[in-house]
């Protein structure tokens, strides 16, 4: 059994897990309207879920002496990742000094590449040559490794919106195969820039809505796309026996992982691929469909994703588990979303509560699943499932188990 012993988050709803979770239960959204005068306006996007920038220096400066110099080279994505990671390590009661120089501590980060638009106005020869480092998707991982001293195996997973969930899935597998004792898994992303806003908008992926009600509406009849968010999520994973040995509290357990590829079309998702990922996760967990009481869906609020995902859920899980999407509250955080939404799963299991679906009315006919309504619900759960999907047809499903009710491993 693999235990989740630390959680850290940066999101549009806040930069600590409990605050974010209480706001989600209250149905608060981190999405805000973009005034027409804003520098990012004019690209077909009128709503965004932006983070309040966390202060690494103020909150963790004393623990990390080298921070001041390094901060100069850190993009906001790196800063969010490192902030969420330090929070998660604190939550897990793991001083980062204890992780340093230990080859049994691994680091897996789901991330994306970005377009360095902050320097594109400058001629190539006029730029600080350091700009080029930001083109590397693993630069965020590198910053975190330097600040924490984590020096065991590491990898950066760049697989669009399943990057974060794959980091969790692969970390879980590493621990199962005893390739590490502790794995820090993460997802981080921010693509709030003119080129990305224009790109998402012109591919009809982003909602054209001007108001919150017209924005992201997962599973609703008038849904018209996602609203872009940004953030970072980090989980500390370890084998349950290892967690017990050091008397760590266990938030929840990961018991199953499935990962499939549609091999279908570039931008049209496939119900079959999503269903296969969930089925693979159930097999991995040695569970049957009826064991799942809640699905945190990918739920992007695009016509095709929600239709195919609901078809897959309805087909594989006909006992009608509860379904919600966290994206109407946090926005679509892309490579970070799999981790942020897994943190939501862990919190849901811990408190036996489900956050509401915003903007659901009227619910769509082509989403025949048992949706959480517009207020939070209390719901008895032993297992829940987190789905993520990505452009290009990648699908992941992770199964989490409640920690409190099961016997510990010896």
Partner 1 sequence: MLEQQIQAILVDVLGVEPEEVNPAANLVDDLAAESIDFVDIIYSLEQAYQLKINPGDIFPAFLQQQTYLDAEGNVSDDTLQRLTQEYPHFDQACLTAFSEHKQPQTFFNVSSLIDFIQFKQAA
The nearer residue to partner 1, 40 or 142, going by C-beta atoms, is 142
Residue 68 interacts with partner 1 (CB under 8 A): yes or no: yes
User: Between helices 76-91 and 139-148, what is the axis angle to 10°?
Assistant: 40
Q: In the stretch 188-207, what mask flags binding to partner 1 with x, by CB under 8 A?
A: --------------------
Q: In the stretch 216-255, what mask flags binding to partner 1 with x, by CB under 8 A?
A: ----------------------------------------
Residue 72 interacts with partner 1 (CB under 8 A): yes or no: yes
Least gap, CB of 113 to partner 1 (angstroms): 20
Residues 6+ apart with CB under 8 A from 354: 294, 322, 324, 348, 372, 376, 377, 378, 379
Residues 6+ apart with CB under 8 A from 337: 161, 164, 165, 187, 189, 229, 298, 327, 330, 388
Task: Provide the β-strand partners of residue 384.
Answer: 294, 400
What backbone phi and psi angles, to 5 degrees, belong to 316?
Answer: -80, -30
Stretch binding partner 1 (CB under 8 A), from 102-110, 129-137, 203-211, 374-382: 129-137
The nearer residue to partner 1, 69 or 177, going by C-beta atoms, is 69
Least gap, CB of 120 to partner 1 (angstroms): 17
The nearer residue to partner 1, 12 or 67, going by C-beta atoms, is 67
Residue 70 interacts with partner 1 (CB under 8 A): yes or no: yes
Residue 100 interacts with partner 1 (CB under 8 A): yes or no: no
The nearer residue to partner 1, 124 or 404, going by C-beta atoms, is 124
Least gap, CB of 183 to partner 1 (angstroms): 28
Rounded-to-integer distance, Cα 400 and Cα 346, Å? 7
Rounded-to-integer distance, Cα 71 and Cα 149, Å? 16
Q: In this chain, which of 37, 58, 66, 211 binds partner 1, going by CB under 8 A? A: 66
Residue 128 interacts with partner 1 (CB under 8 A): yes or no: yes
Residue 133 interacts with partner 1 (CB under 8 A): yes or no: yes
Q: In this chain, which of 36, 129, 362, 410 binds partner 1, going by CB under 8 A? A: 129
Rounded-to-integer distance, Cα 314 and Cα 86, Å? 39
Residue 130 interacts with partner 1 (CB under 8 A): yes or no: yes
Give the interface size with partner 1 as a residue count (CB under 8 A): 12
Counting other chains too, the contacts that 207-210 makes at CB distance below 8 Å and 24 or more residues apart are 207/47, 207/301, 208/44, 208/46, 209/46, 209/47, 210/33, 210/46, 210/47
CA 160 from centroid of its chain's CA atoms: 11
The nearer residue to partner 1, 130 or 241, going by C-beta atoms, is 130
| Peptide bond connecting 406 to the previous residue in cis, omega within 30 degrees of 0 | no
Residue 135 interacts with partner 1 (CB under 8 A): yes or no: no
Least gap, CB of 130 to partner 1 (angstroms): 6
Element (H, E) at 295: strand 292-296
DSSP helix/strand/coil, 187: strand
What count of other Cβ atoms lies within 10 Å of the Cβ of residue 249?
12
Q: Which residues bind partner 1 (CB under 8 A)?
A: 66-73, 128-130, 133
């Amino acid at each position: 059994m693999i235990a989740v012993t630390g959680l850290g988050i940066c999101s549009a709803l806040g930069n600590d897990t409990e605050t974010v979770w209480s706001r989600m239960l209250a149905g608060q959204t981190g999405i805000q309207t973009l005034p027409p005068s804003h520098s990012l306006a004019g690209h077909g996007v009128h709503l965004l879920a932006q983070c309040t920038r966390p202060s690494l220096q103020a909150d963790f400066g004393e623990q990390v002496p080298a921070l001041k110099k390094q901060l100069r080279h850190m993009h906001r994505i790196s800063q969010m990742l490192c902030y969420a990671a330090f929070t998660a390590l604190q939550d897990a009661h793991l001083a980062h000094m204890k992780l340093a120089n230990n080859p049994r501590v691994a680091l897996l980060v789901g991330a994306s590449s970005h377009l360095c638009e902050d320097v594109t106005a400058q001629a190539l020869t006029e730029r600080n040559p350091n700009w080029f480092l930001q083109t590397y998707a693993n630069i965020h991982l590198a910053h975190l490794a330097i600040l924490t001293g984590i020096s065991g195996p590491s990898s950066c997973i760049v697989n669009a919106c399943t990057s974060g969930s794959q980091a969790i899935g692969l970390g879980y597998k590493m621990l199962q195969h005893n390739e590490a004792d502790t794995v820090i898994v993460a997802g981080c992303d921010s693509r709030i820039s003119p080129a990305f806003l224009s790109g998402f908008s012109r591919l009809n992926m982003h909602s054209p809505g001007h108001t919150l009600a017209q924005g992201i509406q997962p599973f609703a009849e008038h849904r018209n796309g996602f609203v872009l968010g940004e953030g970072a999520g980090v989980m500390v994973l370890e084998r349950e026996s290892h967690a017990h040995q050091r008397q760590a509290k266990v938030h929840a357990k990961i018991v199953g992982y499935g990962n499939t590829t549609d091999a279908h079309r570039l931008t049209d998702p496939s119900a079959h691929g999503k269903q296969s990922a969930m089925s693979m996760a159930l097999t991995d967990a040695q569970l049957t469909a009826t064991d799942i009481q809640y699905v945190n869906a990918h739920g992007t609020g695009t016509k095709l994703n929600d239709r195919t995902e609901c078809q897959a859920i309805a087909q594989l899980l006909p006992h009608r588990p509860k379904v919600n999407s966290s994206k109407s509250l946090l926005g679509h955080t892309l490579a970070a979303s799999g981790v942020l939404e897994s943190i939501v799963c862990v919190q849901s299991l811990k408190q036996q509560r489900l956050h509401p679906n915003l903007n659901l009315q009227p619910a769509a006919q082509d989403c025949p699943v048992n949706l959480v309504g517009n207020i939070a619900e209390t719901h008895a759960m032993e297992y829940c499932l987190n789905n993520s999907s990505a452009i290009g047809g990648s699908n992941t499903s992770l199964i989490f188990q409640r920690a409190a009710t099961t016997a510990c491993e010896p």
